Copies of this chain bind each other. A is one copy, B any other.
Amino acid sequence: MFEKIVQMSLLYDFYGQLLTKKQQQVLGLYYNDDLSLGEIAEQLGVSRQAVYDTIKRSEKLLFEYEKKLKLVYKFSVTKKQIEEILKIIEKIEHNKYEKELFVLEEIKKIQDIAYDILEK
């Protein structure tokens, strides 16, 4: 469940603005505020079934946007690459008294990753 919440939350961050205000409201209450279907139904004055349908419909839309645009996936790849750059920097800083050649080799790696990000 936790993993699904993280995934839905990312999809919502990227594509939430493409949903209707109503769909955004229901998904927000469900995933961000962690309300139950019954609680959302009560708060909005609609049936539990209507809330359930809105959530399923909205989730389906978010998955369809991701299937078409793959932005969450691309973002996660870039994020990993930037984290890799940060790891290399840490390595350089921890080895700063090592010989210069080491630093230049590591810098070259950062350069390769940066070019890779730009080419995507």
Contacts and interface: CB of A to CB of B under 8 A. Distances in A.
Interface in A1-49: 14-15, 17-18
A67 to B, nearest CB: 9
Contacts of A79: 118
B68 A17 contact: yes
A117 interface: yes
Contacts of A100: 96, 100
Contacts of A103: 103
B71 A71 contact: yes
B14 A69 contact: yes
Contact of A17 (B14, B69, B78, B86): B69
A51 interface: no
A109 B111 CA distance: 14
Contact of A104 (B69, B78, B83, B93): B93
5 contacts: A18-B68, A78-B78, A82-B117, A86-B118, A110-B110
